[in-house]
Amino acid sequence: MLGQDIVRAARGDVVALTRADLDVTDADAAREALAGSTVINCAAHSDVDGAESDPDRAHAVNAEGARNVAQAAERVIYISTDYVFAGSKHEPYVESDPLDPLSAYGASKAAGELATAEANANHLIIRSSWLFGRGGRNFVATMLALARGREDELRVVDDQVGCPTFTGHLAEALLPLAASDQLGILHVAGASSCSWFEFAREILDRAGIEAELQPCSTEQFPRPARRPAYSVLGSERGGPALPAWQDGLDAYLGVPA
Phi, psi of 199 (to 5 degrees): -65, -45
Question: Which is the catalytic residue, given 78, 105, 230, 252?
Answer: 105
Cβ–Cβ under 8 Å, residues 127 and 81: yes
Which DSSP symbol is given to 98? P
Specify the amino acid at residue 9: A
Residues 98, 101, 107, 113: is their CA dihedral positive or negative? negative
Q: How far apart are CA 38 and CA 144, in angstroms?
A: 37
Contacts of 97 (CB under 8 A, 6+ apart): 85, 89
**Parallel/antiparallel/unpaired status of strands 154-157 and 131-132:** unpaired
Cβ–Cβ under 8 Å, residues 6 and 177: no
Cβ–Cβ under 8 Å, residues 145 and 180: no
Nearest residue to 171 (alpha-carbon basis) of 239, 242, 123, 225 = 242
Bridge partners (DSSP) of residue 156 are 215
Active-site residue flag, 93: no
Angle separating helix axes 104-119 and 65-72, nearest 10 degrees: 20
Annotated active-site positions, please?
105
